[in-house]
Chain A
Amino acid sequence: MSLLQLAGIQTFIEQFHILEGVDLEVAEGEIVALLGRNGAGKTTTLRTILGLNPARSGSVVFDGDDITARRSFDIAAMGIGYVPEHRAIFADLSVEENLRIAERKPGDLARKEEFIFGLFPDLKRLIRLPGTNLSGGQQQMLAVARALVADNRLLLIDEPSEGLAPVIIEQMMEAIRQLSSESTVLLVEQNFIVASRLAQRYVIVEEGRSVKTGSIADLVDDDETIRRYLGTGS
């Protein structure tokens, strides 16, 4: 059974019709990459799942429960972690507070500490620093780490490689690969190389519709599809 299922999602932001029919399915334990051009509706899809931009029609089913009309904090509390684009860590809070705020019950952080600092050793060193003093890569690590504090079964990760130096991207990819042993990942990624090395399956979104899905291994060789939906070839 799939962990997350979107069917016929239509989403408006103010009067603009952003999503005009997105269907996708994420099975337990896999990494699915959401691909597409700028402005195709990838980020909006993630936000619709979380109820930040609620769908006007269609359904979002998570773990057998229809969550389409639920409020965002209820949805998140069901076990969905969100790593938004541009990191969005809390700059005035220290690294530790940034992690602690994601606790859903006391002791979450203590339990997960080892795992998180195993993935991102840097953070342990910076634990007292305010978020604003972190570099871009460290902020991104913190944003991912924050989503790992609570027991999330599904992680929505938006553009983890955006604006990072290549060596940091490598580190980030390694971390995502490792954390995917603990939870399922739905990944939005502009950088096709990164996506192709992480994900098992892909869904392409084009002008607010999901147009193509399949195994990422097949897509790597499919220059035609890549050129058509993702702009430049790989």
Chain B
Amino acid sequence: MTTDTKPAPETMSKQARRAEWLRENRTRLSVIAALVFILLAALMGLEPEDRFATIMQGLSVGALTFLVASGLSLIFGLMDVLNLAHGEIFMLGAYVGWTIYTRFDTALDVAVPLLLVAAPFTLMPLWRRLAEKIRQLDVNWHGALWVVALAVAYVAWFLVFARSRADAPDSGASGFVITIVTLVFATGLAALLWRWRHHRSVGETAGEMKLTAWSFFIVGLGAAVVAVTKFPLVIWDAEDFAKSPSNFSVQIDLGQLAPLPPDTFGWPTLMAFAVLLAGGALIALGLSCFRTHAGELIALTGRHWAAFGGMLAAAMVLHLGKVSINEWIFGLSTTWRFFLAMAVATGVGAAVGAFIEVVLIRPLYDRPIYQLMITLGVGFILIELVREVWGRPEFTMARPAAFNGTGEGCPGEGLGGFFSGCSTVEVFGSRLRVYNEGFIVLVGILVLIGVTLLLKRTRIGMVIRAGVQDPEMVQALGINVRRVFTLVFAMGSGLAALGGVLAAPSIGLSTGMGAVFLLGAIVALAVGGLTSFPGAAAGAVLVGLLQQIIIRYGQTGISVPFLDEPFKPSPTVVPAAAILLMVVVLLVLPSGLFGRSER
């Protein structure tokens, strides 16, 4: 039996405690000192007028990296999931923000069907109750449902994929594909019929119920997909849509896509509305059929109906008032549109994060390596999705008006110049860009303060900090820790998406932007100590500074002994420096600069 070895803290003198702390953190302190020394030395080596600008640029990149790293750090700390899709959520945020900012009409258009499909999810207690009823049904009901589901899936596939591809230039394969897929469906039908005939009783085995759940899900999804293609959307009208650079216009230009003839999406609006709603309801019902909710049925209250009605009304208003809303939005200044883009992108990022956590991460908590693999896959899918939806992979985004002034009185002078509306400002003899070195840094600092306050001052923050150490114990105190997981995942994803919008006007949009910042964030995390939130912030700043210093030296060159010419690193090798920093720090201090060492 071990005895109580650790002396009570109050019995130790202050000096003894300090000495002990110093001894324990010897390596850590020397590494920090060495890093600070190197950074200072590097800064001193620069021209005096470059120094301040370099620091500010470093902070700017650091702030963007921090927005990605903060979520990554919280998610890893709380759930032990290194979300490798986090960079892609950053990228998605940028694309969503771009759409709100430059093509609000398309975003509005897509919002209507999305709202309609999502609305039935507010009535979840109803679907769960219904699912329990279905569980009791006779097997013939289940069997009939399976067959209907298969038929709907086939029709949906045929209507959406097979037919649109039939117009494509490479139509030789279509006939073959249709045959194969039809055969697959036929085999599926036979298997289902066999299962129906040789069923075991539904109550006893979960298999039948699972098939039923899938059936509802597939029918719902099929209905929704077909209805969307029949919905009068701007993007279906190739001529209208071609007015701005985006997917379809580019594809039409290249002759890769024959636009659907106008009469193919000629459903009456009400019918499209109804089918979308029904599709959403069936998807929700299918999801609630997957597992039993017998113990946790709650009553449907007025609040559920209010949420449902609200979403329906919003969809209606958006659809009917489309023209005037668009006019109003495009009449706003770009600054306001930019703030709107920030808000919407953060929201979309949070929603996508919550979806990923609930649907993909949650079933795998007992298989950690698979979680890592699935986040890799999600990142891959997000990139391809963006490529499919936005078509041309690269865009630029104009800076909002408040940060883009030129002419009279510009550039601004001193700190006040940041609010002059000019695009650049002169501070301490350095020329800075107000947006990049002012606004981005400001948002970064605000987020840092906000999240720190949330963690330190609120109950949910306390639960998060406790959950980082021992989620099971938090659960045992009566706190629904899974809900906290989802919340943190959503929050982290929202912050990453916010970072994406912020980055878009300064670095432009590309499908590769996520990977770059994810790498930076991972480095920041590893350097700062994987689960330490302040560590992630410090690491992000360090990464940003290091990169900017190296870029600056790339212009002037570093005189290396034994080389005649100064060594000029090219911009492409800049990320390599940060990664080398990570590798070195991890080798010396596997738990990072601020992380808790392994017990």
Contact = CB atoms under 8 A, between A and B. Distances in A.
A and B touch in the complex (CB under 8 A): yes
A48 to B, nearest CB: 12
A44 to B, nearest CB: 14
A129 B4 contact: no
Interface in A122-161: 125, 129, 133-138, 146, 150
Interface residues of A, number: 37
B475 A135 contact: no
Contact of A52 (B1, B468, B475): B475
A134 B9 contact: yes
B463 A135 contact: no
A135 B295 contact: no
B469 to A, nearest CB: 5
Nearest to B456: A97
Contact of A163 (B4, B469, B480, B481): B4
Nearest to B366: A14
A186 to B, nearest CB: 14
A12 interface: no
Contact of A93 (B9, B462, B481): B462
B7 interface: yes
A162 B2 CA distance: 8
Nearest to A191: B1
A73 B475 contact: yes
B476 A82 contact: yes
Given A101-B462, A134-B9, A163-B2, A84 B473 contact: yes
A91 interface: yes
Interface residues of B, number: 30
A74 B295 CA distance: 11
A150 B478 contact: yes
Contact of B466 (A90, A135, A168): A90
Interface string B237-254: 000000000000000000
Interface string B1-18: 111111111100000000
A125 to B, nearest CB: 8
B374 interface: no
A136 B6 contact: yes
Contact of B4 (A74, A88, A165): A165
B475 A72 contact: yes
A137 B480 CA distance: 29
A92 B3 CA distance: 23
A76 interface: yes
A7 interface: no
A69 interface: yes
Given A74-B478, A84-B476, A135-B7, 15 more contacts: A73-B477, A73-B481, A82-B476, A84-B473, A88-B473, A90-B466, A92-B465, A92-B466, A101-B459, A101-B463, A101-B479, A135-B4, A135-B8, A135-B9, A150-B477
16 contacts: A71-B480, A72-B472, A73-B477, A73-B478, A73-B481, A88-B470, A90-B470, A92-B465, A92-B466, A93-B466, A100-B462, A101-B477, A135-B6, A135-B7, A137-B4, A162-B1
Interface of B: 1-10, 295-296, 459, 462-463, 465-466, 468-470, 472-481
